[in-house]
Each structure stands twice: as structure tokens, then as C-alpha cells.
Structure 1
Amino acid sequence: MPTGTPTPWSYVLIRLLFRFVLKIFYGSIVVEGTHNIPLTGRPCIVSANHSNSLTDALLLVTAIPPKDRNMLRLTAKATQFGHRTFTSWLIESAGTVPIKRRKDYVDSSTVDNTEVMGKLMEALELGDAVCLFPEGMSRYHPGIAPFKTGVARLISDVLTRNRNNPEFEICLLNCSVTYMHRQHFRSDVLVTFHPPMTFTPKTHPELLAPIDYNNIRSLTAQMHDQISSGTIDSPSWDLVRVAKLAARIYAPLGTRMTLGDHVRLVRTFVEAFNLKAADNNPDAHLGDEETTAPETAELAQLRVDLTTYQDQLARWGIKDDRIRRQPRSRIFILWRMFVRLTWSLCLFCISFPGQLLWLPIFLTTFYAVHNFKKTGPIWDTWDEIAQYKLIYGLISGLCVWFGSAALTFPFSVFTFFLVPALMWMTLRWFEDAVSAFRAFTSLMRLLLVGKPALRSMHVRREELHASIMRLAVQTLGLPEEPEAYFAGLGGKEKGRVRGRWESGSRYFSIKRRRKRDWNETLRLYELHDIAD
């Protein structure tokens, strides 16, 4: 049985380094289905959607437990190789295989990946895991692009090469990656590994050469369906926006649900409101009933009503959760504003010394990203923002760490450990301070809007809630009591920590979540109206 390629030291270093960096940059990284990962020695292709450039690859490298797979062979566009940059060194040191893309070469005759495919097949025959992104490119878009057939053709080629080996098998491990806000600091990420597909020359003779290309297309379509099922795959940002609002109305803020449950719930509403898909497919179903013309019209009207409601919330700068509750008295709001502002100022003061250490990092990343955005249009550059923030944040963070130790000599032996500890606690205090400040500004907006307008908006929300519940329960087959249902469902990551003892004991844990909202990021203002 093959044992796989030995793990190079540079790969181990990169995995450890970016596991730490990713945990700092993203608030929660929730990984599902690790039991589906084939063990080292079993040839495996890891296939995932691709929306966040190099960050996707780094996330998969750190999400796969080393005890299951010693390493993951990556692929990247050939134009990223051979440069005197940290990114280029990072890619090459991890054993990444360069792939030429036709869009990167004016003369298409120079695009020949035959040798590359040969290296990938050799790696698979050694028992390695190879990572491929079947979309063919990273893209800043709400939906998954049509898959290219390269993964299916690679499976066919490696099976054909080993057609006389009855014991040879190759696994296809499809993975769905969902960023709640892919480029924002302290956002959340979901990584879902699906049950693997296993192929052998005996069980899949239709994939052996000579091959009917329809079998390649069929396998590619299966990959697309499985990966799409685990993430928010939408034809437009507007549809994502409406689906997230519907999910919030159905399962309001405070519902103890895992990130995976939240993503799957949003996807369910995306499919329900995707009227164009239903129009193009007369056999489309919602739940167990066929979509009739009146139902389609009702869904279209509900989508319009939700959009109008969300537009008004965005103009006011208020989240739906503020409308869900009955309008509070002015005295109560003023008291809560005083409490929130006082707590926020206290935390800002406590975290100020540590903020001086974070300031060079924030300034460096802001400057780098600001200049990078100027290099091209949104669709071609914004998928690399997180990558730039990670790399420039890592470099500047290491400079601050080691620079602080050098400047405090001869106490460096202490500051070497105290500085990162202070920076971590500063991040915790600063997150809580920002959260309290956002609550203060939100309460202030409630005062500005006024009680009559809030009461009218509350009545409109009640009507929307009734329509959403009818759609969710009667058509989509969702549970009638979402808060009780999701609280009892499996999964460790349930959002906000409950209870004083639990909250206090886990305050210093790097796994702790203070956020109640999976859409929350570290910003002084709330994200009221953003899909990605």
C-alpha cells in the first residue's frame, strides 16, 4: 500500500504559521465532516469551490487534520511562480504544482499542462492528496462558476494508467467553503467535507479509455451538485441579501444554531426565491409540492416585500432584531445607551496599550489593500483582498513581535511571550468594545427614527414573519419552532456563549465566540445591508 510523500519541513511550518494567522483573521473557522477525509496513503483529489484566491488553499491545508493526511499537494496558476516575493516563496515551498491558464497567455500554443498532469498522477499513485479547484479560477461572485472537466479527466487518466491493478482506487473528496464575509477581519468561515466518491477500474469501467465524454460531463455535474449543496450558491447578490433576511426572520438573532445550520438555512431560502431557476425548469420543486403559477407569484411578491423592508432598515441603519421587539420607551433606550457607551469606553481604555502594537499591522494592511484595489476591477481583484491582508498582516505582525522583544532587551525573554498575549487579549477587549459601541449607535438611531415609525415597521415585520413561516413550514418543510430545534441539534459552535461561568471560564480561550450574529465582523459600524 502506498504511504504518500514525506511531509517537507516548509509545509509543516506553513501549516502551523497560517493556522495561527487564520484563527486571528477569522473569528470562527468551523470544519464539518473531517471523518470523511481518506487517510494518508489513499490516493485522493480534494475538490472545492474557489472564491478567495490563495486563502482557499491555506484554509484547506489547515482544516485537514495532520493525523488524517500528512500533506495536501496544491495547484496554483503558473504566473505566481518564479517571483522574488513572499507569496511566490510560500507557494513554491509548499510543494505546489504550477498550472497554466489560457487567459494568462496570449499565445495559447504555449499552454500545455501535459507534464503537470503527469506529475499529479504520479503523486496520486504514491498515495498523496491533490487539491484542485474545478472552477478554474478564483472569482468574486455570489455563485459557483461552471466546472471545468479537468478533475474528472484526471480521474479517468489515472484509472486508465492503473487499469491492470485490481487493488488501485482513488477518492474524490468534495469540499464546500463558505465565507460569511470573505475579506473582513474577524468574520466566520465554514468548511464542509462531503462523503468521498471512490473509483476503481473494476467498479467504474465507463471512466477507462477509450471514454465517452458524456461520462466525464456526468461526473463533473455530480461534483458541482455536491459542492453547491454545502454553500450559498446564488445567481445574484440581491438574492443572497433577501435569503439572509428571510433566514433571520425565520430564526431570529439569539437562536443557538451552528454556522453550518445557518448556511444551509440561507441556501434553502436562496433556492426558494430563485424564481428564474423555477421558470427555466418546469419540473422544479419546493419541498414536496410542484411550484404552481400562484405560488411563484406569491414568492415574487414576498421577495419584493422583503427587499423593500430591508431597504428601509438600511436607510435607518438598524438591524431586523431591533424591529422584532416592541418599541422601547425613551427612558429605557437612554439608560441602555449610557450603559453601552460606558462599557465601550472602559474597554477602549483597557485595550489602548495593546492597540499601539496593532496599529502598525492595521496601517500596513490597509495601505497594501488600498493600492491593490487600484490594480483592476472588483471581479478580478477583490477575491485576493483576504490573501493580501493575511500576508501583509503576518509580516507586519512578526516585525512588531520580534521588534518589541529586541527593543525591550534585556527583558526580551519575558516580552517575547507577553507581547503576543497582550495583543491577543487586546483583540478580545477591542472586539467587545466595538460590539458595545455598535449597540450604542444602534440605540441612538432608534431614538432618531421615533416610536411611531418603529411601531409601524414592527407591524410590517409581523406580516412578513407570518409569510416567511408559511413558506418555511408548509412549503420548505422546515421546523415550526426553529429556536428549540436548532438549540437541540448537534454541533459545538452555537454562537454566543451562554451562562456566566461558561462565559468567564472560556474568556481566555482562542476558540471562544462572543458574537451572537454569524454575520458580524470587527467594525465600528454594523453591517446592515451586505450579502458578502
Structure 2
Amino acid sequence: MPSATPWSYVLIRLLFRFVLKIFYGTIVVEGASNVPKTGKPCIVCANHSNSLTDALMLVTTIPPKERNFIRLTAKATQFGKRTFTSWLIESAGTVPIRRKKDYAEGESVDNTDTMDKLIQALEMGDAVCLFPEGMSRYHPSVAPLKTGVARMISDILTRNRNNPTFEISLLNCSVTYMHREHFRSDVLVTFHPPMVFTPKTHPELLEPVEFSNVRALTAQMSEQITSGTFDSPSWDLVRVSKLAARMYAPLGTRMTLGDYVRVVRTFLEAFKAGEPVSGSDDVHTVDDEKVSAETSDLARLREDLRAYQDELARLGIKDDRIRRRPLPRLTIIGRMILRITWAICLFSLSLPGLVLWAPVFITIVYAVHNFKKTGPIFDTFDEIAQYKLVYGLVSGLCVWFGATAATFPFSVVTFMLVPALMWMTLRWFEDAVSALRAFMALGRLLLVGPTTLRKMYWKRDALYDRVMKLAIDTLALPNNPEVYFIRHGGREKGRVRGRWESGSRYFSIKRRRKRDWNESLRLYDIVDYPEDDS
């Protein structure tokens, strides 16, 4: 009999489903039908790059009808504190796990009791969430997975070796944040087909088990998790791969977030294969020379794309502005007038609601500013989204209930009006920032001048031919992405079909229809990442 769902877990799921939909512009969920039903033992595993936000993302994206409760795990140092975050973790039935790095050298770190509790919960039919990387980190790659999950499956199969009907599922999940800590960026959550284990079908995992079988299962998990997200040895490769994807499927291509991630990942894997590898001095065959030539071509393309992106960043313009021949100055000025007029109108509409949002924004900025001082980028940036979510939730509730109390005796009306106004303000503000961003981009085109733009156009034209040759001839991507992605992929969230639907969805109050999945609520385009040696 699976555990009952704690009331606090239901409350947390409800609250943070709302908060995550506000913080992130679009959350696309793929493979929700793969989630095992309530009552079937299940271990949920995912990559871990965004601290507590990763757990909240899984809690809110797994359909409650499929799975009513997921037992979470968290580092033991987050328990027992007089903070909202600590209460949040403990009240949701989370199990503490002790990590060696959190304790003094030589101090005993024993998780035996914790593992026993998790195994008992699984035997009752619960779902347990684990992050096999072992820790959250702000890094472009997925860390080598620990063998703990595979050993747990081995232990539970061994305990139930005489039960012919016992089975346990391993549900691997890939979570991809476009910009994990930025307001109104996007998230892709992909649930892969579950791996099902029984004592009969997997006798190699029964005690006494060879460690090679444990390592093999861990490798399968790693392959499935990394197949749905970016896994790069450097931020530079992510940056170059996104540029190649934008050149292959230009701005305005109506593709889902999942399609976009897979296209970027396809280029990323190609550039990873083109990384220089130190080899032996043995005699090379003709095939070796062919592979070496292809590797050299990939390396040169990567370097040329990096130089082109550096030049775009220096000029402050996007690749999409170079894709077409330079616009006449009068055309640019006319478009600037339209963009700034639209931005002013939307900002004017947003002003009353921005008064309500101001305390929330100020609280978040102050809290994150102080938090960043506590450590280096690699040790703090994975928790920024978590801080923004928690402080945004608390300050937002204070504004909501404060405004309701201040407007007595009309509190019944303002109780419904305040959140509606704040949401509409956010939508108008998003479009206003987008219009202002376009105005600034057009202004930079005027400053750059037609001569420089023509040189950049010729440089891009040569790069485009090489990118398309790589995409079609080597990577087997569709040769007409703008047509292909309209016709394939279904009607997933974030996707529109046809010009009328595309235009009407732009003004949807539910969410902003983005032309660029790298977009966030910023006046600048995010194309750069932290230094790789951070």
C-alpha cells in the first residue's frame, strides 16, 4: 500500500506549480505518459544543475493522476534550520542524505538508515526521487553518475528474489534549462521510457552481484539522461552549438522547445566529436586520415563560428540581423519608431501593476545580491533560481494579502483582482521589453553601418553553407527545417501552426509566444556563459 500524500506536499505542489509558471516563461513536458502509475515501485532519476528547483520541477511536472506522491531526497545540511526553505523540505516528507563534502574530514558519514527507509518506501509502492550525480552544480556537463541507484535496485531485487510478481521501475528524466536562473526563460522536462526490473528478468543484479553489472546499469542511466539534455565539456561548445542551430533553423522557425534542444544537441555532439584527441604515433590507415580530416574540418568550423559570434557580441547585434541583406536606413528608422511606440504603450499599461511587482523584484534582487557574496560562481549559481523562487513566493504572497487587507471593505474584489492584474502586467511587461529590445537592436544596426554589415553578411553566407553541409550531409538533419518543423512534432506546448494562429497567440494572456528560445526578460540577448575555468 503506497504512502498517503501529505497535505503539505499537496500545498507545495500547488504553490510551486503556480510560482514556476510565473518564473519560467514556458515549461514543456515530454513523455509524461511514461510515468509509472501510483502503487508501482519507482525510482525517479534526473540530472542535477539547479539545486532545489530541480526537485520542485519534477514534483510539479509529474501528473498527479499518474503519481500522487514522490518521496524526495535532499542534503542533510538543509534540515533543522529555522528557514522557510528548511520547512519546505521537511514538511514534504523529504529524506535527508549526508554528503562527505558537508562534514569535517574523518567524520563518519553513514546513510545506511536512509537507504533502508527508501527501500521500505519502494516496497510499499512509493516513488523515490534521487539525483545520481550526487550534488547540484553549475556546469555545462552532466557529472559522472554515482552507482548508488544501481546498488539500491540490486538490494531491493535481492530482498524480493522469492516474489515472482515484484517489479521496480527506473524512470530517468532529462531537465534542460535554457537559462536556469533568469526570469521568464524556458525549461524542457523529458521523461524517458522506464527501465523495468524483476528478479526473474535481471538475475545478474541479485546478490552476490558483480560490480561490473552495477557499472553497466549506471552507464545505461547516464546514456539515457544525457540523451535529452546538453552535456558539454565547456560552455564554449554550448555557445557555438546554439549559434549553429540558429543558422540552420533561423529565428522564426516554428519549432517546439524539444525540437530546438535536440537540434542544438545534435550540433553539440558533432563538435564534441571534433575535439582534438591526443593519439599515438602509430601508422595511420586511409580511414584514420579521413576521420582526421573530418575532425579538422569540424574544429575549423567551430573556431570560425566562435570568431563570428565574438564579432556579433562586440557589435551588439544578432545573427538574425545579418541573415538578410542590410536594410535601408529609412526602413530601420521606421521600424524603430513602431517598436518604441509599442513599447511606450505597453509600459504605460504596465505601470499600475508594476507598483505591485516592485516589492517582489526589490526583495529578490537584494536577496540574490547578498547570496552571491557567500561563495564562488560554481558553488552558488546553481542555487540562484531557488532563492528567486522562494523569496519571490514569500514577497508575492505578502503583496497579495497586504493589498487585500489595505482595501477593506472591498477585499473580496481585490483578492481576485490583484493576482489577475499582476499576471496581465507581467504579460504586457514581457512584450514591452521585447519591443524595446528590438528597438535597441535596430539602433545598433544604424551605428554599425552598411559597410560592416555587408562584410558580416558575406562572412555569414560562407559559414551558413558549411553549417548546412554539416547538418544535412553528416548529421542527417532535415534539409528544409522551416517546413519540416511545421509539419512534424504534433501540437505541443509552445508550438503554433499557421499565420493566423501564430499572430493571435502572440497576444495570448496565457504565455508569450517566443520566436527565440534563448529569450528571457532582459534588454539584452543572452549568448555568453561563464568562463570555463570558473
TM-score range, shorter chain: over 0.9
Paired residue for 2:74, among 68, 76, 90?
76
Indicate the residue corresponding to 2:475 in structure 1: 476
Output the CA distance in 1 between the equivalents of 2:56 and 2:75. Answer: 15
Per-residue CA shift, 1:248-271, capped at 9, x if unaligned? 000100111111111111111111
Per-residue CA shift, 1:160-201, capped at 9, x if unaligned? 111111110000000000000000000000000001000001
Per-residue CA shift, 1:80-138, capped at 9, x if unaligned? 00001000000001100000001111144421000000000000001011000000000
Q: Give the secondary structure class of the aligned counterpart of 1:143.
A: coil
Where do 1:186-265 residues align within 5 Å?
186-265=184-263
Per-residue CA shift, 1:49-92, capped at 9, x if unaligned? 00000000000000000000011110000000000100000000
Where do 1:81-160 residues align within 5 Å?
81-160=79-158
CA contact (8 A) 1:324 1:461 kept: yes
C-alpha displacement of 1:527: 2.2
Output the CA distance in 1 between the equivalents of 2:393 and 2:279. Answer: 48
Residues 502 and 275 of structure 1, relative CA distance in 2, 3 Å threshold: closer
Residues 506 and 238 of structure 1, relative CA distance in 2, 3 Å threshold: closer
Output the CA distance in 2 between the equivalents of 1:458 and 1:505. Answer: 32
How many residues are aligned here? 524
C-alpha displacement of 1:4: 1.3
CA contact (8 A) 1:497 1:514 kept: no
CA contact (8 A) 1:177 1:189 kept: yes
Indicate the residue corresponding to 2:293 in structure 1: 294
C-alpha displacement of 1:505: 7.0
Percent identity between the two aligned chains? 69
Output the CA distance in 1 between the equivalents of 2:136 and 2:292. Answer: 37
TM-score by length of 2: 0.95
Residues 494 and 88 of structure 1, relative CA distance in 2, 3 Å threshold: closer
Q: Give the secondary structure class of the aligned counterpart of 1:68.
A: coil
CA contact (8 A) 1:121 1:154 kept: yes
CA contact (8 A) 1:495 1:515 kept: no
Residues 278 and 151 of structure 1, relative CA distance in 2, 3 Å threshold: farther
Indicate the residue corresponding to 1:285 in structure 2: none
Letter in 2 for 1:179: Y
Indicate the residue corresponding to 2:446 in structure 1: 447
Q: Does 1:456 align with 2:455?
A: yes
What stretches of structure 1 of length at least 5 have no aligned partner?
283-287
Output the CA distance in 2 between the equivalents of 1:109 and 1:361. Answer: 41
Where do 1:406-421 residues align within 5 Å?
406-421=405-420
Give me the CA root mean square deviation: 1.9
Letter in 2 for 1:305: D
CA contact (8 A) 1:495 1:517 kept: no
Residues 310 and 51 of structure 1, relative CA distance in 2, 3 Å threshold: same
CA contact (8 A) 1:177 1:231 kept: yes
Output the CA distance in 1 between the equivalents of 2:350 and 2:290. Answer: 55
Indicate the residue corresponding to 1:5 in structure 2: 3
C-alpha displacement of 1:294: 1.1
Per-residue CA shift, 1:258-302, capped at 9, x if unaligned? 1111111111111111146673799xxxxx999611111111111
Q: Give the secondary structure class of the aligned counterpart of 1:190.
A: strand
Indicate the residue corresponding to 1:318 in structure 2: 317
Indicate the residue corresponding to 2:493 in structure 1: 493
Residues 67 and 124 of structure 1, relative CA distance in 2, 3 Å threshold: same
What stretches of structure 2 of length at least 5 have no aligned partner?
281-286
Residues 509 and 71 of structure 1, relative CA distance in 2, 3 Å threshold: farther
Letter in 2 for 1:447: L
CA contact (8 A) 1:37 1:173 kept: yes
Letter in 1 for 2:63: P
C-alpha displacement of 1:504: 4.0
Q: Give the secondary structure class of the aligned counterpart of 2:228.
A: coil
Residues 428 and 289 of structure 1, relative CA distance in 2, 3 Å threshold: farther
Where do 1:335-350 residues align within 5 Å?
335-350=334-349
CA contact (8 A) 2:506 2:512 kept: no
Output the CA distance in 2 between the equivalents of 1:368 and 1:290. Answer: 56
Per-residue CA shift, 1:411-464, capped at 9, x if unaligned? 000000001000000000000000000000000000000011101111111111
Q: Give the secondary structure class of the aligned counterpart of 2:277.
A: helix
Output the CA distance in 1 between the equivalents of 2:509 and 2:199. Answer: 48
Letter in 2 for 1:441: M
Output the CA distance in 2 between the equivalents of 1:76 and 1:352. Answer: 40
Residues 302 and 19 of structure 1, relative CA distance in 2, 3 Å threshold: same
Output the CA distance in 2 between the equivalents of 1:313 and 1:505. Answer: 30
Output the CA distance in 2 between the equivalents of 1:522 and 1:218. Answer: 43
C-alpha displacement of 1:155: 0.4
Q: Give the secondary structure class of the aligned counterpart of 1:66.
A: coil
Paired residue for 1:176, among 160, 174, 177?
174
C-alpha displacement of 1:526: 2.4
